[in-house]
Amino acid sequence: MSSLQNRRAIVTGASSGIGAATARALAARGAEVVLVGRDRARLAAVQAQCPGSRIVELDVRDAAAVQHALGGLGADLVVNNAGLALGAEKLPDGDPSEWAVVIDTNLKGVLHVLHATLPAMRAAGRGDHVLLGSVAGRQVYPGGNVYCATKHAVRALYEAQRLDLAGSGVRVSTVDPGMVETGFSGVRFRGDQARAKAVYQGMTPLAPEDVADAIVWVVTRPAHVNVGEVVLWPTDQASTTTVQRR
């Protein structure tokens, strides 16, 4: 097992799904993990599975809070993961107040975390910043409008950071999964668990641990290797609109 001893890792959205699995995987390899999310009780449950970890309770939409809590940590590994979708309506039927939550979290929240954590890595001349993109940042699908737009924006930020940080020694990566069974669909369908479960009916989605495995692989390559983009599909999913169900 590759060691992450002496690495300090920030994982946003660590209370659930991909973030929680990634926090566990990083802690199991010896990283000191900072678990970031809005709900202390959910974070505490993950902390119990991550030896040596600590909790930072904040909302990534709050730029000042992100800077204050994460800016001085000197983390050399960041998994910029917190994100969500709300609804799957066609655009004219959508709710602009929900669009604001999705844009403020998936785009501005990601920017706040980049802005707070990159200076220390740049000063140190090393570090890993992993963005959680999505196949929704590469293809769109009916009803995906605002969510897909934010993930396309994350992909643009990934490309932009590779240019902005060229020569700094800092590695930027994007890990872009297809369907992963997490709390994501429950949040998207506003707590309708039957509808969320139906998303994965008759097919085998990725598990959050599959994505965590990829992230661990990305950040444990030798210093001269920057894995730029990882796209992970369930074998049963060929595109955002083509899913094999039995």
Residue positions annotated with a catalytic role: 147
CB 14 within 8 A of CB 45: no
Q: How far apart are CA 2 and CA 26, in angstroms?
A: 10
Residue number, 168 or 204, with CB nearest to ligand NAP: 204
Residue number, 128 or 184, with CB nearest to ligand NAP: 184
Contact residues: ligand NAP, CB under 6 A: 12-19, 37-39, 42, 59-61, 81-84, 105, 109, 132, 134, 177, 179-180, 182-184, 187
Residue number, 88 or 168, with CB nearest to ligand NAP: 88
Smallest distance, ligand NAP to C-beta of residue 133, A: 7
Smallest distance, ligand NAP to C-beta of residue 166, A: 25
DSSP labels for 93-162? Answer: GS-HHHHHHHHIIIIIIHHHHHHHHHHHHHHHT-EEEEEE--GGGT---TT-HHHHHHHHHHHHHHHHHH
Chain centroid to Cα 198, Å, comes to 23
CB 237 within 8 A of CB 244: yes
Q: How far apart are CA 121 and CA 76, in angstroms?
A: 6
Smallest distance, ligand NAP to C-beta of residue 181, A: 7
Smallest distance, ligand NAP to C-beta of residue 5, A: 26
Residue number, 38 or 122, with CB nearest to ligand NAP: 38
Residue number, 100 or 168, with CB nearest to ligand NAP: 100
Going from the C-alpha of 53 to that of each of 45, 61, 104, the distances in angstroms are 11, 23, 27
Q: Find the helix or strand (DSSP H, E) in which 240 lies.
A: none
Q: Coil, strand, or helix at residue 242? A: strand
Smallest distance, ligand NAP to C-beta of residue 6, A: 26
Nearest-10 Cα torsion for 177, 181, 214, 77: 90
